[in-house]
């Protein structure tokens, strides 16, 4: 292959554009070449106080990379990705090249299609429990060298989340610089935010956010299926892998009829990250928290008994 056609370039750009990103900022740019497409970080994207280390920005780039790989597969090529391929150019976070022709599998086509159905679902979920098979499928899809999902189980662990989320919400609510930046950013891009004054476990914390008491928050969290995405290290490459794992798991969840959303803001506080590691006994670094379930307007399309079979990654 010598170059991408205009149609193929559009497919790649369209898939990347639908990746989840910090505050909908899309902190990347694509540079198509001869049989390759480079994913380049845009460090000026997104409000700096909400992402002081750039971790969320790199996670966003990882999600875009996962979409790019699926788009290359959907176009009939085998993708081969290299992370940070040019040390002298740190802003080049990934290069995806074609490695020969190959028809996409049914699963790849299904997950590519899910790219365009993915939405952040911030409302409470329905009472339909997530079947074991769908949960395994999500966890398997998000599993990769150096990254994986740790599902939250039991009253003690949900109480831990409630304690840490409550601490984070109160801290961010009182952080005046943070709140000024949030107001400025949401005012600049009002169409990107459905509702900023959302509960602390589903969205951004504003100066008007009411934080529930510990018991109430614990019970609300226990009504959801939640998992912590953990990486072995805490480098930019680890953050990129976390984004890839997030998107692969999220797309797998969508194909099983689930909806979800991602929490990263509480993890900007070092004490919250440390608390998760200690109290949940995590084996690595928490990068984000994923909540998922069935939307209130939908019921599982497949009988629970059928969904309970072991899922494939």
pLDDT at 307 over 50: no
State how far the Cα of 76 lies from the Cα of 56, in Å rounded to an integer: 31
Q: Is residue 312 part of a domain?
A: no
pLDDT averaged over every residue in the chain: 87
Q: Taking residues 290-301, report their average pLDDT.
A: 77
Q: Is residue 144 part of a domain?
A: yes
Q: Taking residues 260-279, report their average pLDDT.
A: 92
* Same domain? 168 vs 283: yes
Q: Is residue 120 part of a domain?
A: no
End-to-end CA distance of the chain: 30
CA distances from 43 to 90, 187, 263 (A): 11, 21, 21
State how far the Cα of 246 lies from the Cα of 253, in Å rounded to an integer: 11
* Same domain? 143 vs 77: no
Summarize pLDDT for 215-259 with one digit per residue, the tens. Answer: 999 999 999 999 999 999 999 999 999 999 999 999 999 999 999
Summarize pLDDT for 29-40 with one digit per residue, the tens. Answer: 999 999 899 999
* Same domain? 110 vs 236: no
* Same domain? 173 vs 57: no
| Domain final residue, candidates 63, 89, 115 | 115
| Domain final residue, candidates 86, 115, 144 | 115
* Same domain? 106 vs 137: no
* Same domain? 95 vs 208: no
* Same domain? 233 vs 271: yes
DSSP letter assigned to residue 29:
E
**Number of structural domains the chain divides into:** 2
> Which residues constitute the domain of residue 228?
132-307
pLDDT at 176 over 60: yes
DSSP letter assigned to residue 226:
E
Q: Nearest 5°: CA angle at 143, between 140 and 147?
A: 160
pLDDT at 302 over 50: no
Contact 72, 79 (CB under 8 A): yes
Please tell me the predicted confidence (pLDDT) of residue 2.
Answer: 55
Please tell me the predicted confidence (pLDDT) of residue 306.
Answer: 33
Q: Taking residues 2-26, report their average pLDDT.
A: 91
DSSP symbols for 60-123? HHHHHHHHHHHHHHHTTEEEEEEES--TT-TTEEEEEEEEEE-PPPHHHHHHHHHHTT--B--S
* Same domain? 137 vs 110: no
Summarize pLDDT for 54-67 with one digit per residue, the tens. Answer: 999 999 999 999 99
| Domain final residue, candidates 115, 144, 165 | 115
- The burial class, CB within 10 Å (0-12 / 13-18 / 19+), for 46 is buried
DSSP letter assigned to residue 43:
T
Q: Taking residues 254-283, report their average pLDDT.
A: 93
Q: Taking residues 181-207, report their average pLDDT.
A: 59
* Same domain? 157 vs 296: yes
Q: Is residue 298 part of a domain?
A: yes
* Same domain? 169 vs 298: yes
pLDDT at 207 over 90: no
Q: Is residue 127 part of a domain?
A: no
Q: Taking residues 156-165, report their average pLDDT.
A: 95
Q: Taking residues 264-278, report their average pLDDT.
A: 92
Higher pLDDT, 270 or 207: 270
Summarize pLDDT for 123-134 with one digit per residue, the tens. Answer: 889 989 999 999
State how far the Cα of 48 lies from the Cα of 52, in Å rounded to an integer: 5
Q: Is residue 126 part of a domain?
A: no
DSSP letter assigned to residue 311:
P
Of the chain, the percentage scoring pLDDT greater than 70 comes to 87
pLDDT interval class at 185 (50, 70, 90): low
User: What element of type H or E holds 135?
Assistant: helix 132-142
* Same domain? 160 vs 303: yes
* Same domain? 108 vs 192: no
Please tell me the predicted confidence (pLDDT) of residue 238.
Answer: 97
194 Cβ neighbours under 8 A, 6+ residues apart = 122
- The burial class, CB within 10 Å (0-12 / 13-18 / 19+), for 181 is middle
For residue 49, the domain's CATH number is 3.40.109.10
Please tell me the predicted confidence (pLDDT) of residue 313.
Answer: 32
Q: Is residue 67 part of a domain?
A: yes
Q: Is residue 289 part of a domain?
A: yes
Half-sphere exposure of 126 (CA within 13 A, CB side): 13
Please tell me the predicted confidence (pLDDT) of residue 291.
Answer: 93
Please tell me whether the overall predicted TM-score, pTM, comes out greater than 0.85 for this model.
yes
């Amino acid at each position: 292959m010598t170059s991408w056609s205009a149609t193929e370039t559009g497919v790649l750009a369209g898939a990347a554009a639908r990746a989840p990103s910090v505050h909908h900022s899309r902190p990347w740019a694509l540079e198509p070449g001869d049989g390759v497409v480079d994913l380049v970080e845009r460090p000026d994207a997104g409000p700096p106080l909400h992402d002081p280390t750039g971790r969320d920005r790199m996670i966003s780039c990882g999600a875009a990379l996962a979409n790019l790989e699926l788009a290359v597969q959907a176009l009939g090529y085998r993708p081969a990705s290299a992370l940070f391929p040019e040390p002298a150019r740190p802003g080049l976070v990934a290069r995806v090249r074609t490695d020969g022709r190959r028809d996409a599998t049914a699963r790849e086509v299904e997950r590519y299609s899910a790219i365009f159905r993915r939405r952040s679902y911030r409302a409470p979920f329905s009472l339909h429990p997530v079947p074991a098979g769908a949960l395994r499928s999500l966890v398997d899809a998000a599993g990769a060298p150096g990254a994986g999902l740790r599902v939250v189980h039991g009253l003690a662990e949900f109480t831990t989340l409630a304690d840490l989320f409550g601490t984070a919400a109160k801290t961010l609510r009182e952080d005046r610089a943070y709140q000024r930046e949030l107001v400025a950013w949401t005012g600049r891009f009002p169409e990107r935010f459905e509702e900023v004054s959302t509960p602390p476990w589903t969205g951004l914390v504003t100066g008007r956010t009411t934080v529930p008491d510990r018991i109430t928050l614990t019970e609300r969290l226990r009504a959801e299926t939640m998992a912590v995405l953990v990486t072995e290290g805490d480098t930019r490459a680890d953050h990129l892998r976390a984004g890839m794992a997030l998107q692969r798991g999220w797309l797998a969840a969508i194909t099983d009829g689930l909806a979800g959303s991602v929490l990263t803001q509480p993890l900007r506080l070092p004490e919250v990250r440390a608390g998760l590691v200690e109290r949940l006994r995590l084996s690595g670094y928490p990068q984000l928290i994923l909540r998922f379930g069935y939307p209130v307007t939908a019921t599982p399309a497949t009988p629970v008994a059928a969904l309970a079979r072991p899922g494939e990654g």
